[in-house]
């Protein structure tokens, strides 16, 4: 199928537009021919293929190439690789073909841009493996990941054509990995746009609401900004400085995050905008001095807030960001953040890594080291053999959003660690064996615990003991990837030993009662010891955390019944399915699901009415229901995107019939008993309490609880739970039911 004349027109327009951008980067006839060759090959290769929007597919690579020039600032090779980025994956061309035509450099870039295909280890997630591959390219050629980000940005900009499950998968990946990665690589505007687009698809109402409020408050805000800037402009003009000054509103996503974090309405966000001054620096004095001179003239006008001064020039952020930030008292008693930076710093803030390289030869920035050492850490982690892809990704994620501190060893050697690092992180940074045996630290010659957070400039000596070893709690103490990995792998080894010991002990104990280890036995024992799986049980037995003294009682007790859900979840299979061209997707199931199909996610505990997303648990086959904004869901979506349920999961109308019943309780009173009782009732949202009445006299406790339940099974299950509470002697159904 050929391109129609309408297609040809669209493609040609996009191409002409791309060529006009290329004038910035093409230096020779050779450069132009290189790009044209890529254009014609890709156009021919994608012929007849369309995007979901109905547009010719080829418009996508052209758009990516355009982003790569205009928004990231890369050069000719990157444009060629962008045009070819989907050719190997989607058409008959191979990497070898590309190499023959464009040479080995372009071929390896295109290879890096080609998604994973082929055989996967069944235990690991394809998605995580895919990310791992993406990140591997990062250590070879940073441009590949920058093109990958451009690709993602264009896909996000055209996300409205995707069905809902794909939207969730793609936004999940974006918020989990691509936005942080863009930030880490210094692409601040792209990071913000990716976040905003994610929010637009996941929380359309909130997104619309905040954008409306920003629009509505605009006239008032620009009046204020003008008033604020007027005297600043006057002094800068007087000093013959060439500059631009403007007020910039925060991104919708960051406003929304702040509203959530602080639990405040839009109207109470005081730092909705910042004023930015970008100036042309003179050859002399240093850029830093010139920034401080401007700072000085501004604080002659407005009083600064002393604790809000941020000098990102003396100590640039890990992603290369440099600027001077200060908050000053503006007119009407309003604090205003002012950002001061040179044009060079602005380029780096907008274009990140690419701009950073451009200036690398011009200035001797100390930041090259920080970036190079970050890349080295990623390379090391990728080469770490005892780590699976999912763990790698979790750890890698940690290294994305960090600002850094510099500390010293006893000998004065410098070490860079993320902000928030503890003495224990430092210990692991020196050596795994030092970390594993750390018991304390001398920070600036003073004895401190290993949990102590360290600060820039600290000098640290680690105290070790030969019999010390890592504990699970240590995982909460450390923040660095290296320390987490070392502790996890130590604990894994130890756990494996404990499991083996636990199995032996358990079987030995069972044999005393002449019982064989079986699934039935485990189903009884696991909940009784509060374990989620048998490995947890064995390792706790092996470590001596669980004693098997009461095993016989547990084996004799009857298993508890399950409380039925009051609200029902169901799958809306009629949702926006507009056909799917991916081979991996399966047609939505039409059968009526039973209520046991769903499990409420423990991480976010959605309640009836919450917007929810279903995620298939491959182990049990059940659908775990998460809140739409659950962080854990984002993580899962990024790693196991295929398991997102295509259908919308909805709560049914609150129609189930419920009956009022009263339970009478009696027992020995103790501290915390009431709390335990109410905990049991509130734990399960299928129970509604109508009335609680508790009396206590002479150490005896008597009470009645009136609840709405769906049926007798639920009531029995509830009473069964009460009977297991320490102190409660009897729990029975009252005969005299109160009228509603």
Closest CB to Mn ion among residues 151, 346: 151
**540 contacts 629 by C-beta, under 8 angstroms:** no
Nearest to 558 by CA among 728, 709, 723, 725: 723
Residue from 17, 31, 55, 90 carrying the catalytic annotation: 90
Q: Which residue has the tokens 């099974």?
A: 713
Closest CB to Mn ion among residues 85, 571: 85
DSSP E strands in 419-491: the ranges are: 438-443, 446-448, 460-464
Q: Name the minimum Å distance from CB 89 to Mn ion.
A: 8
**663 contacts 194 by C-beta, under 8 angstroms:** no
688-697 sheet: strands from edge to edge: 688-697, 700-709, 659-668, 728-733
Select the span of 146-154, 351-359, 388-396, 685-693 touching Mn ion (CB under 5 A). 146-154
**682 contacts 654 by C-beta, under 8 angstroms:** no
Closest CB to Mn ion among residues 63, 569: 63
Q: Name the minimum Å distance from CB 339 to Mn ion.
A: 34
Residue 151 near Mn ion by CB under 5 A: yes
Two structure tokens written together for 378: 């990623």
Query: Rounded distance, CA 404 to CA 417, Å?
Result: 6
Two structure tokens written together for 450: 């290993």
Select the span of 79-87, 349-357, 451-459, 466-474 touching Mn ion (CB under 5 A). 79-87
Report CA 553 to chain centroid distance, whole Å: 45
Closest CB to Mn ion among residues 86, 193: 86
Query: Rounded distance, CA 336 to CA 329, Å?
Result: 6
Residues 178-237 that bind Mn ion (CB under 5 A): none
Mention every residue, 6+ apart, whose C-beta is less than 8 A from residue 617.
599, 623, 624, 643
**432 contacts 406 by C-beta, under 8 angstroms:** no
Q: Name the minimum Å distance from CB 64 to Mn ion.
A: 6
Active site residue 165: no
Q: Name the minimum Å distance from CB 197 to Mn ion.
A: 16
Mention every residue, 6+ apart, whose C-beta is less than 8 A from residue 102.
34, 37, 38, 80, 84
Q: Name the minimum Å distance from CB 75 to Mn ion.
A: 20
**564 contacts 718 by C-beta, under 8 angstroms:** no
Q: Name the minimum Å distance from CB 685 to Mn ion.
A: 43
DSSP state, residue 243:
E
Select the span of 19-27, 136-144, 149-157, 552-560 touching Mn ion (CB under 5 A). 149-157
Select the span of 148-156, 337-345, 355-363, 557-565 touching Mn ion (CB under 5 A). 148-156
Mention every residue, 6+ apart, whose C-beta is less than 8 A from residue 449.
423, 440, 441
Active site residue 90: yes
Judged by CB under 5 A, how many residues of this single chain contact Mn ion? 2
Q: Name the minimum Å distance from CB 172 to Mn ion.
A: 18
User: Between β-strands 273-279 and 335-342, what pairing exists: parallel, antiparallel or unpaired?
Assistant: parallel
Two structure tokens written together for 58: 């080829």
Closest CB to Mn ion among residues 151, 536: 151
For residue 235, the tally of other CB atoms under 10 A from its CB is 15
Nearest to 393 by CA among 86, 147, 637, 144: 637
Closest CB to Mn ion among residues 126, 429: 126
Select the span of 93-101, 144-152, 534-542, 690-698 touching Mn ion (CB under 5 A). 144-152
Q: Name the minimum Å distance from CB 204 to Mn ion.
A: 25
Residue nearest to Mn ion (CB): 151
Residues 386-415 that bind Mn ion (CB under 5 A): none
Select the span of 83-91, 330-338, 524-532, 712-720 touching Mn ion (CB under 5 A). 83-91
Residue from 12, 13, 44, 89 carrying the catalytic annotation: 89
Closest CB to Mn ion among residues 46, 627: 46
Q: Cα dist. 115→329, 504, 670 in Å?
A: 51, 46, 61
What are φ and ψ of residue 627, in 5° steps?
Answer: -65, 150
Closest CB to Mn ion among residues 151, 347: 151
Two structure tokens written together for 52: 């979901």
> Residues in the site for Mn ion, rule: CB under 5 A?
86, 151
Active site residues: 89-90
């Amino acid at each position: 199928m050929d391109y129609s004349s309408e297609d040809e027109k669209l493609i040609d327009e996009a191409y002409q537009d791309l060529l006009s951008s290329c004038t910035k980067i093409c230096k020779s006839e050779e450069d132009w021919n290189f790009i044209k060759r890529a254009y014609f090959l890709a156009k021919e290769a994608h012929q007849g293929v369309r995007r979901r929007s109905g547009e010719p597919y080829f418009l996508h690579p052209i758009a990516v190439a355009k982003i790569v020039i205009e928004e990231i600032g890369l050069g000719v090779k990157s444009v060629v690789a962008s045009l070819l980025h989907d050719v190997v994956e989607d058409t008959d061309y191979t990497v070898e073909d590309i190499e023959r035509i464009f040479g080995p450099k372009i071929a390896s870039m295109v290879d890096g841009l080609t998604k994973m295909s082929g055989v996967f280890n069944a235990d690991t997630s394809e998605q995580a493996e895919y990310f791992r591959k993406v990140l591997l390219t990062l250590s070879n050629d940073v441009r590949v990941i920058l093109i990958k980000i451009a690709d993602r940005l264009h896909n996000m900009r055209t996300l409205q054509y995707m069905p809902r499950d794909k939207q969730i998968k793609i936004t999940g990946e974006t918020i989990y990995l691509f936005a942080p990665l863009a930030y880490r690589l210094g692409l601040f505007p792209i990071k913000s746009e990716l976040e905003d687009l994610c929010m637009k698809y996941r929380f359309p109402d909130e997104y619309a609401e905040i954008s409306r409020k920003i629009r509505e408050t605009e006239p008032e805000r620009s009046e204020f900004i003008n008033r604020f800037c007027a005297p600043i402009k006057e002094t800068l003009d007087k000093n013959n400085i060439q500059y631009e000054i403007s007020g910039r509103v925060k991104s919708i996503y960051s406003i929304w995050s702040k509203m959530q974090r602080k639990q405040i309405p839009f109207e109470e966000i005081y730092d909705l905008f910042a004023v930015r001054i970008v100036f042309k620096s003179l050859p002399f004095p240093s850029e830093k001095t010139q920034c401080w001179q401007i700072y000085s003239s501004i604080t002659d006008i407005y009083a600064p807030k002393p604790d809000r001064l941020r000098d990102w020039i003396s100590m640039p952020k890990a992603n290369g960001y440099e600027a001077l930030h200060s908050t000053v008292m503006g007119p009407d008693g309003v604090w205003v953040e002012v950002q001061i930076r040179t044009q060079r710093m602005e380029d780096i803030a907008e274009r990140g890594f690419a701009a950073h390289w451009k200036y690398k030869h011009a200035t001797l920035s100390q930041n090259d080291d920080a970036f190079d050492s970050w890349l080295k850490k990623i390379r090391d982690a990728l080469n770490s053999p005892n780590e699976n892809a999912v763990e790698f990704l979790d750890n890698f994620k940690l290294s994305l959003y960090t600002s850094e501190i510099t500390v010293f060893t006893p000998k004065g050697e410098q070490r860079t660690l993320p902000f928030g690092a503890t003495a224990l992180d430092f210990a692991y940074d020196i050596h795994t064996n030092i970390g594993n045996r750390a018991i304390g630290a001398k920070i600036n010659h003073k004895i401190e615990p290993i949990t102590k957070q360290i600060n820039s400039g600290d000098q640290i000596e680690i105290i070790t003991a030969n019999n010390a070893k890592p504990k699970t709690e240590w995982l909460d103490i450390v923040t660095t990837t290296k320390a987490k990995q070392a502790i996890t792998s130590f604990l894994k080894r130890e756990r494996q030993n404990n499991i083996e010991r636990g199995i032996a002990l358990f079987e030995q104990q069972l044999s005393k009662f002449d019982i064989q280890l079986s699934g039935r036995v485990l189903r009884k024992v696991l909940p009784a010891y509060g374990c989620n799986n048998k490995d947890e049980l064995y390792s706790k037995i092996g470590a001596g955390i669980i004693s098997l003294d009461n095993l016989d009682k547990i084996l004799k007790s009857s298993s508890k019944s399950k409380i039925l859900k009051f609200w029902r979840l169901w799958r809306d299979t009629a949702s926006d399915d507009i056909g799917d061209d991916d081979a991996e997707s399966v047609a939505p199931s039409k059968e009526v699901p039973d209520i046991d199909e769903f499990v409420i996610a423990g991480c976010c505990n959605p309640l009836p009415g919450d917007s929810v997303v279903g995620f298939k648990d491959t182990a049990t086959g059940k659908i775990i229901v998460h809140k739409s904004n659950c962080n854990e869901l984002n993580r899962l979506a990024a790693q196991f995107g295929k398991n997102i349920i295509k259908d919308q999961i909805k709560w049914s109308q609150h129609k189930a019939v419920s009956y009022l019943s009263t339970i009478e309780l009696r027992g020995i009173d103790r501290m915390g008993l009431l709390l335990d009782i109410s905990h049991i009732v509130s734990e399960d949202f299928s129970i509604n309490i109508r009335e609680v009445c508790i009396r206590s006299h002479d150490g005896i406790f008597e009470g009645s609880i009136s609840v709405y339940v769906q049926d007798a099974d639920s009531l029995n299950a509830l009473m069964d739970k009460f009977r297991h509470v320490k102190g409660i002697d009897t729990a029975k159904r009252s005969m005299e039911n109160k009228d509603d």
